[in-house]
């Protein structure tokens, strides 16, 4: 449980940094970024597997590149769920999800976190 909380906080740092520097995305404060990180983890756990199964044919046709769109959809769902967090359109959500993956990888290696 402690490791999960630390991962949420590290992911919140990533969300906060990206939202501050990416035009078209924003977050009101760090507490909102923590909520975004929490809801992204919940959406990735519950919604993403369903979306992956539903979009499997197009994912196979695009050699997996459509999963980037699935990640952008997850970001857009989080945008609609959380007040104080916004992304302007699917293209910004796509860039946000790509940057989030890179920054999370960097921060997780910096803090020595392991994926469970």
**Total domains in the fold of the chain:** 1
Q: Quick check: 93 and 76 in contact, CB under 8 A?
A: yes
Domain range for 19 is 2-111
* pLDDT block averages, 10 residues each, the chain of length 116: 86 94 95 96 94 94 94 95 94 95 88 68
Calpha distance 73→77 (Å, rounded): 6
What is the structure's pLDDT at 32?
96
Asked if the structure places residue 116 within a domain, the reply is no
What is the structure's pLDDT at 111?
78
CA distances from 12 to 55, 57, 67, 92 (A): 28, 33, 22, 18
Backbone angles phi, psi at 25, to 5 degrees: -130, 150
Asked if the structure places residue 14 within a domain, the reply is yes
Calpha distance 83→29 (Å, rounded): 11
CA-based max dimension of the chain: 40
Calpha distance 8→92 (Å, rounded): 22
Which pTM was predicted? 0.88
């Amino acid at each position: 449980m402690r490791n999960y909380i630390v991962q949420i906080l590290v992911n919140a740092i990533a969300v906060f940094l990206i939202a501050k520097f990416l035009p078209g995305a924003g977050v009101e404060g760090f507490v909102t970024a923590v909520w975004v990180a929490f809801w992204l983890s919940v959406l990735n756990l519950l919604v993403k597997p369903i979306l992956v199964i539903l979009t499997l044919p197009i994912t196979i046709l695009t050699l997996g590149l459509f999963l980037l769109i699935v990640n952008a959809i997850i970001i857009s769902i989080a945008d609609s769920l959380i007040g104080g967090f916004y992304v302007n359109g699917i293209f910004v959500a796509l860039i946000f999800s790509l940057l989030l993956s890179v920054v999370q990888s960097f921060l997780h290696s910096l803090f020595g976190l392991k994926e469970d």
